[in-house]
Structure 1
Amino acid sequence: MDVLFKNGLTLCLLIYFVKFSSVFCDGVSFKKYFYNDNDYGKCLPNTTAFESKAQDPVACGKMCHLNNACESFHYQPETHQCFGCRYKRYDAPPLRDDEKRTRSMYFTPVENFPSDCKDILQNNIHAKTGVHEIKLWKSRKTLNVFCDMDTAGGGWTVFQNRFDGAINFNENFTAYETGFGELEGEFWLGLRYVQEIADQSATEIRLDLSDGFGREGYEAFQDFRLSETFLYTLHIRKESRSFSGGREQFEEASTGFASNNGYYFAARDRLKYQYCVDGAESGWWHVADGCGGVDLNAHYLNPGTPLNESTQGFKHFGFAGRYSLRASKMMIRRN
């Protein structure tokens, strides 16, 4: 039977219909799917938001809906075990109306708003590159974002884009936290939004680059996240690095974005590494020893301008050598 669930502060109203293929919890519906033998009725490894007893799938759905980390759930009718999962699945076939209701049941949410560009693409495989509206999974804030639906399979949420120097990136920390620029031009999305989008599940980050001499390429890492504090410390898995293009030294991970791993974000009103901020005129994950060879928010110069200690600017030494870049695009996608 279908179950309609309306959640009040302490009052729950349950209305039962004829079929049992969906659960509705306070405006969020969960679609029922076949049990997958490979999951054993539980979440994928290391993705369990909670585990508890529940009288029925409705009660389990309520637990999931009220838990900010829960994106879907398994319910086991024989044992009344409820498993909240930190991920959504779209690949399972829907439950048939005549299927026997035994073993574990898997439910995944059907929401009015996607939580990132990957959701948008999965909901509509014909979605185009451009500005789309999402609803952040934890804060529930609606937000316009720029989605890249063409690069490497699409579904990328772009959080930085530079190509002509039209936008001044020498901003204070508040601006870097909340975002600035124009989504259809040059922009920085905002650290707090990047952090929340990446916190949904395992996330890949990709840096698309081009220099002043016609070279194009990229650098990508798995397990990207920003620390859960106002420091927004950068975390990536260095050994997961993939790349293409650039100069010969680009083969060495130490010349790229990996060198910024573990450093917190500093802007012009942050005192530590102030000499890096002032010289580069940017907010960035500056490296303590010499500021580092990568700063995609630094002062925009004519592409191909030689860089040295007295001339700092838009740079990725591993990719372009000691010459200023022409363009960069930073984006993330859930795995």
Structure 2
Amino acid sequence: MHTGDSLGRQKFSRFLTRDKDQNNDRENCAEKFHGGWWYDGCGSDINDRFQSNLNGLYYNNATVGDYMGIQWTTWKGKQVSLKGSEMMTRPKIDYPITEPPADCQEILDAGQNTSGVYTIQHARQNMQVYCRMEPESGKGYIVFQRRLDGSVSFDRTWQEYAEGFGNLTGEFWLGNQKLRTLTRNWGWELVITLKAFDGKEARVRYEEFELRPYNYWLIVSDFTNELGDAGDSLGSQRRQDFSTPDKDNDNTDGENCAEKFHGGWWYDCCGSDISDYFTSNLNGLYYNNAAVDDYMGIQWVTWKGKSVSLKGCEMMTRRKWYT
């Protein structure tokens, strides 16, 4: 289909309306043809008239008087009004895009400052993730866990934790297999935000973060408090396999910590020696209040102790070499 260029000859023309005539004709083209447009001419010389007017008077049939209606004369001629039209635009790209963004940092660097759900490509697979954008620091994080209100159960099977569950805009676990795929190359850092029922917040950072094969063995190191004094509750569980209620990989004989505390996590111990218990569990049972039995709920023991469950938390990661 060859519609032709009906707008090109009107380049450099001023936009006209019936109450503002800015062309050189004695007639007001916008008034005469009932719509604002970039008219170049509409005088007695019919060969010097405009070739397009997509804002003209609407007709319920095609046949019209010369140049009336919705006009694209290089396609249908001057006596045919169109049934409809649509004009749209997009930014021009000054360089070729060779591949989709690999993480949230690349999306932030491309100018997207708003936190939300985006599509990245990792290991040649498209993946939807929630990006936590922090333009003030120039950092974009992939969020892989969030607890808010207990609307999503984290008492899940091994397969569910492997594949992920929940809603990316609410409570969710991104999936151990996705985390394994993400963190096996380049080197990643881990940032965790914690919220307590007393209104206090804290943020901690681990310089190194990775999940190793098979049982999603946890690697974390080089801890710092970024906000508050929550302390390092995860470091003691490094080099620990992930456990779920249906797959016990903890170090306690005769007890399944994930089953006992209702959530998949990198538990080390939960036996009779309470001094040797795990010190974190951000996937535990959600409580609507802070006071709980020892080690129940969402736990970060070095901050609030073993008898306090947190109101919420978020775990996120980004590539270290951006720093």
Question: Do the aligned residues in 2 keep the contact of 1:276 with 1:291 (CA within 8 Å)?
Answer: no
Question: Do the aligned residues in 1 keep the contact of 2:246 with 2:259 (CA within 8 Å)?
Answer: no
Q: Deviations over 1:82-139 (max 9, x none)?
A: xxxxxxxxxxxxxxxxxxxxxxxxxxx95331111112112x1333100000111x2x
3-state DSSP class of the match of 1:118?
helix
Residue of structure 1 in register with 2:195 after alignment? 210
Shift in Å, 1:235: 0.4
Shift in Å, 1:318: 1.1
- Describe the shift of the 1:119–1:200 C-alpha distance in structure 2 as closer, same or farther (beyond 3 A): farther
Residue of structure 2 in register with 1:270 after alignment? 247
Quick check: which has more Rg, 1 or 2? 2
Counterparts of 1:269 and 1:186 in 2: how far apart (Å)?
A: 22
Counterparts of 1:225 and 1:165 in 2: how far apart (Å)?
A: 27
Question: Do the aligned residues in 2 keep the contact of 1:219 with 1:241 (CA within 8 Å)?
Answer: yes
The answer to whether 1:173 aligns with 2:158 is: yes
Question: Do the aligned residues in 2 keep the contact of 1:202 with 1:222 (CA within 8 Å)?
Answer: no
- Describe the shift of the 1:291–1:278 C-alpha distance in structure 2 as closer, same or farther (beyond 3 A): farther
Identity %: 29
Shift in Å, 1:244: 4.0
Question: Do the aligned residues in 2 keep the contact of 1:115 with 1:197 (CA within 8 Å)?
Answer: no
- Describe the shift of the 1:294–1:112 C-alpha distance in structure 2 as closer, same or farther (beyond 3 A): same
Counterparts of 2:197 and 2:266 in 1: how far apart (Å)?
A: 24
Residue of structure 2 in register with 1:47 after alignment? none
1:281 to 242, 245, 262: 262
Residue of structure 2 in register with 1:184 after alignment? 169
Shift in Å, 1:246: 4.9
Q: RMSD of aligned C-alpha atoms?
A: 1.9
1:321 to 281, 305, 308: 305
Shift in Å, 1:321: 2.0
1:236 to 199, 220, 231: 220
Counterparts of 1:269 and 1:275 in 2: how far apart (Å)?
A: 9
Counterparts of 2:214 and 2:256 in 1: how far apart (Å)?
A: 21
Counterparts of 2:203 and 2:133 in 1: how far apart (Å)?
A: 16
Q: Give matches, 1:21-36, under 5 Å.
A: none
Higher strand share: 1
1:197 to 161, 176, 182: 182
Counterparts of 1:241 and 1:110 in 2: how far apart (Å)?
A: 37
Residue of structure 1 in register with 2:126 after alignment? 142
- Describe the shift of the 1:259–1:153 C-alpha distance in structure 2 as closer, same or farther (beyond 3 A): farther
3-state DSSP class of the match of 1:318?
helix
Residue of structure 2 in register with 1:306 after alignment? 292
3-state DSSP class of the match of 1:242?
strand
Residue of structure 1 in register with 2:238 after alignment? 261
